Amino acid sequence: ARQVLLAGTERQGLTSSNSCHPTRSVMDSVVDINEGKAGVGGKVQVKDLRVVIATACFHVVDGVTITLRKIIRRLKARGAKVLVLTAPPPGGVAEPLTVHVESVPLLSCCVGQGDYHMGVKAGEEALLAMEKFQPHVVHCTTPDFACYAIGVWAREHNIPVMGTWHSNIHDYALHWGTISTVIRPLIVLYIQHFYYALGTTYVPSEIMRKKMIKEGFESKAHGNKLEVWGRGVDCDKFNPNKRDEAWRTRMGFSPDDVVVLWVGRCVVEKRPDVYIQVMRNLTKLYPQKVRGVVCGRGDFYKKMTSIPNVQGVGWLTAEELPRVYASCDILCFPSRVETFGNVTLEGMASGLPVIAADCCSSHLVESGHNGYAIKGMDFSGYQEAIVTLMEDKKLRQQMGINGRKRAVRDFEVDAVMDQMVEHYIEVANNPPFKPKAFILNVILFPIAMLLWWPYMGIYQAGRLGPKEWVGILMFVFVMVVYLYGGDEQNEGPTDYSWIIGVCLATGAQLSGALAKVLFKSYWQYKVRWKQLAISAVSYVCIIIINPIMGLSAYSFAAQSLLAPLSILNLVWNAVLASLILKEKLSKANMVAYLLICSGCCMTSYFGIHEHKSFTYDELMGLFLEPMFLVFLVVEAIVATVGANIAWVGEKQYPPWVVRIAYGCLGGMLGGNQFLSKSLSEMISTALKTDVAIILRPGSLMLIAGTVFVLISGLRMLQKGLKFYTAMSLVPIYQGFFTITMVASALVFFKE
């Protein structure tokens, strides 16, 4: 790929004859440039323009570098000078007109290719090169740390900085599994603040501009703005006249075969799963007619090319790629993370009807005119569109003609690149953008983080109606009473230690809810080490963090006060299940959870705030109380019935009955928190009087019983989550958990 790029740069006039030592040749050419400061001496003209382009991986073949090389070629054709700051390629040899920044490789699991790097520091070489180059404008294309440092340097030297948007990096994180829940908000906030400081950022389409404004990348508080600058295609290079029947013959395609083309990286965010499923189905339905070609590389390349009738050609040279485009019949491009769609545009210029995702390509593809813009995530729309074009050759050809006309009319490459040159001139001839004070970022960043989770909850639920607002107002009313009301239950001095107990119990419920959601995600992974890792984190949360905080809470508050707070698990479960497991959070869910929070606040306010302690003998005597023995018998009967239903399953019982059985059995076992409370009291007594108490038979049985009910209850929940969603099962589990916890407090401790 690197040889192809170097060959391309030679053809485009990007190399020089004295390039045996690329970095030195760049530095020498920098010294020969006009020594005047940027922007001095009147308006900057194109022939005098000096542009620094800071990007992540100039050596990688992707849409970003293709676009940047088009810009550079046009700048040089009009007399401007360019310096590229980028991460070094494998081997560390610089291309002409590039200087390396300090970088680290990105994990291939994140980007699908191992040769991607992220700049972490500008480095002395890059800063020295910019100092000598004296740019009129600095162009940042990637929101990594090196580009951030380069932008800071430019602002310190009063040089205008601008940006372009090429990749929806924050959307890539959606494909990283459970970890995206934590990482994506941080990525979004960092990228927002990166672009806030650039003044003007050029995005590839009006659709993308509206999307980014909605996601908060344009801020009135910071004064930055988003403007549209599209992309272009070389319509002479990508041309239907380059169709090569000899190439089709070598590939084994007959004149009547319909060849469906994939172009691009074969990585998860590009939706190769759609292409795989569609081609598998079509190969079975039309084994003698449909063929496939995969042009690209990545984690899914082997899987895509293992489908019968699908062949892979890997990465192609600049001469070979247009021929492959023109020699195929349909372009399938289901990626939902494109900012513009260079592949779509190249397919249109090559005379192919394009089937692409509506969210990314509707500005290029008009359904029924030059292809089909498919809505939704399912593969069926793509399959239906391909079948329609397969069965109607005239329609296929006419759509290809329409797409070609649109590409020639609206997206000729030199005209589009000239627009960017004019943007450079405009930015260079205006005062540098001054972002708001740094203190504003310091204040806004933590505030944004605190608001992120509630915002996501409302975003998932959609518009709120009258019932939802009733629930919200109810919650606000209870909070006002809770915060400003007085404690009138005690005539003497008020002991507020119960507040510590409530806070600890709330934290315990949060860790427990996280464990339950992770239990559900356990079944989504087939790789054993991932299952083990998720199980380990889950059990740490539920066996270590949850009990420690829970046991500590019992030292400050009565069980009857803490018991209802366990229902807060539903609230945490709702938020975590919607974010981690992508389960739907309805408006009804939101109202229910607001009312649950209201009830928990009322319980903690109006409940019993006195905390009674027990000696060891008193504690052991409670296990022999008649009412408690009756309670155990009832529990045993219910547990037997629930276990039988769960064991037999849906073979004999309706799904809702089995779901209740799992929830009842798990919640009832886990809800025996009188054991945890007793254990807390026993440990407290032992530490105050005699540590040897812990080794008594009764103490050992208490410890064993506490561990047993905790693990067995969770195991039943984990088993149930294999068959049912967290949204439907955890509320049942938590309901029985709370009922059992309250009942045991009333019966055992007589609260």
Tokens standing for residue 3? 């040889």
Which of the pair, 466 or 574, is modelled with greater confidence?
A: 574
The pLDDT of 339-351, averaged and rounded, is: 90
Q: Assess whether pLDDT exceeds 70 at residue 28.
A: no
Tens of pLDDT, residue by residue over 405-437, are: 999 988 888 888 999 999 999 999 988 888 765
Predicted TM-score (pTM) of this structure: 0.50
**Which residue in 141, 22, 152 sits closest to 89, CA to CA?**
22
Q: Does the fold of domain 240-410 match that of domain 2-165?
A: yes
Tokens standing for residue 365? 């593809």
- Residue 103 pairs with which residues in a beta bridge? 119
Please list, in sequence order, all residues whose beta carbon lies within 8 angstroms of the beta carbon of residue 409, skipping any fewer than 6 positions away: none
Of the CA atoms within 13 Å of residue 560, those in its CB half-sphere come to 15
> Which of 26-30, 277-281, 579-583, 670-674 is the most confident on average?
277-281
The pLDDT of 12-22, averaged and rounded, is: 35
What CATH number has the domain spanning 240-410?
A: 3.40.50.2000
Question: DSSP secondary structure string, 660-701?
Answer: HHHHHHHHHHHT-THHHHHHHHHHHHHHHS-GGGGGSHHHHH
Which of the pair, 344 or 96, is modelled with greater confidence?
A: 344
**Which residue in 459, 697, 463 sits closest to 578, CA to CA?**
459
pLDDT of 580 reads 74
> Which of 119-123, 152-156, 457-461, 556-560 is the most confident on average?
152-156
The pLDDT of 9-28, averaged and rounded, is: 36
Which of the pair, 154 or 606, is modelled with greater confidence?
A: 154
Identify the sign of the CA torsion 74, 80, 84, 85: negative
In 10 A of CB 459, how many CB atoms? Answer: 10
Residue bearing tokens 């498919």: 374
Please list, in sequence order, all residues whose beta carbon lies within 8 angstroms of the beta carbon of residue 464, skipping any fewer than 6 positions away: 458, 472, 587, 590
pLDDT category of residue 349 using cuts at 50, 70 and 90: very high
Q: Assess whether pLDDT exceeds 90 at residue 211.
A: no
Buried b (16+ CB within 10 A) or exposed e, 593-613: bbebbbbbbebbbebebebee
Q: How far is CA 94 from CA 103, 118, 147, in A?
A: 14, 16, 18
Q: How far apart are CA 579 and CA 92, in angstroms?
A: 40
Domain boundaries, the chain: 2-165, 240-410, 453-610, 612-751
* Helix, strand or coil, per DSSP, at residue 585: coil
Please list, in sequence order, all residues whose beta carbon lies within 8 angstroms of the beta carbon of residue 741, skipping any fewer than 6 positions away: 559, 563, 566, 671, 672, 673, 674
- Residue 139 pairs with which residues in a beta bridge? 53, 162
Q: Assess whether pLDDT exceeds 90 at residue 386.
A: yes
CB-neighbour burial class of residue 410 (10 A; exposed 0-12, middle 13-18, buried 19+): middle
Tens of pLDDT, residue by residue over 646-687, are: 888 777 888 888 889 988 998 888 878 788 778 877 887 887
236 phi and psi, to 5 degrees?
-80, -35
Tens of pLDDT, residue by residue over 684-741, are: 788 778 878 888 888 889 888 888 888 888 788 888 887 777 767 878 887 888 888 8
Tokens standing for residue 46? 């194109």
Q: How far apart are CA 258 and CA 389, in angstroms?
A: 9
pLDDT of 549 reads 81
pLDDT category of residue 290 using cuts at 50, 70 and 90: very high
Which of the pair, 50 or 100, is modelled with greater confidence?
A: 50
Give how far the C-alpha of residue 75 lies from the chain's centroid of Cα atoms, to the nearest Å.
Answer: 36
pLDDT of 146 reads 85
* Helix, strand or coil, per DSSP, at residue 445: helix
pLDDT of 492 reads 43
Tokens standing for residue 627? 């009412």
DSSP 84: E
By percentage, how much of the chain surpasses pLDDT 70? 76
DSSP 652: T
**Which residue in 44, 72, 163 sits closest to 154, CA to CA?**
163
**Which residue in 201, 205, 208 sits closest to 225, CA to CA?**
201
Residue bearing tokens 């025996």: 672
Tokens standing for residue 298? 């990545």
351 phi and psi, to 5 degrees?
85, 25
**Which residue in 204, 643, 182 sits closest to 453, CA to CA?**
182
Q: Assess whether pLDDT exceeds 90 at residue 584.
A: no
Q: How far apart are CA 505 and CA 553, in angstroms?
A: 6
Tens of pLDDT, residue by residue over 487-529, are: 444 444 445 677 777 788 878 878 877 887 777 777 666 667 7
The pLDDT of 153-165, averaged and rounded, is: 91
**Which residue in 448, 523, 509, 425 sits closest to 216, CA to CA?**
448
**Which residue in 172, 173, 137, 121 sits closest to 38, CA to CA?**
137
Residue bearing tokens 């007959």: 254
pLDDT category of residue 4 using cuts at 50, 70 and 90: very low
Q: How far apart are CA 343 and CA 376, in angstroms?
A: 20
CA angle 543, 546, 548 (to 5 degrees): 90
373 phi and psi, to 5 degrees?
-95, 110
In 10 A of CB 488, how many CB atoms? Answer: 7
First to last CA, the chain: 74
Judge contact between 604 and 502, C-beta under 8 A. Answer: yes
pLDDT category of residue 15 using cuts at 50, 70 and 90: very low
Q: How far apart are CA 557 and CA 553, in angstroms?
A: 6
Identify the sign of the CA torsion 515, 517, 520, 525: negative
Q: How far apart are CA 455 and CA 356, in angstroms?
A: 31
pLDDT of 517 reads 77
Which of the pair, 22 or 253, is modelled with greater confidence?
A: 253
Q: Assess whether pLDDT exceeds 90 at residue 243.
A: yes
Judge contact between 72 and 95, C-beta under 8 A. Answer: no
pLDDT of 447 reads 52
CA angle 670, 673, 679 (to 5 degrees): 125
Q: Assess whether pLDDT exceeds 70 at residue 466.
A: no
CATH topology of domain 2-165: Rossmann fold (3.40.50)
**Which residue in 387, 409, 270 sits closest to 330, CA to CA?**
387
Q: How far apart are CA 570 and CA 592, in angstroms?
A: 9
pLDDT of 370 reads 92
Tens of pLDDT, residue by residue over 294-330, are: 998 888 999 999 999 999 998 888 789 999 999 999 9
The amino acid sitting at 711 is: I
pLDDT category of residue 440 using cuts at 50, 70 and 90: low
Q: Assess whether pLDDT exceeds 60 at residue 459.
A: no
Q: How far apart are CA 242 and CA 328, in angstroms?
A: 11
Q: How far apart are CA 152 and CA 122, in angstroms?
A: 10
CB-neighbour burial class of residue 75 (10 A; exposed 0-12, middle 13-18, buried 19+): buried
pLDDT of 337 reads 80
Tens of pLDDT, residue by residue over 102-142, are: 665 654 434 444 566 777 778 888 889 999 999 999 999 98
Mean pLDDT (the chain) is: 78
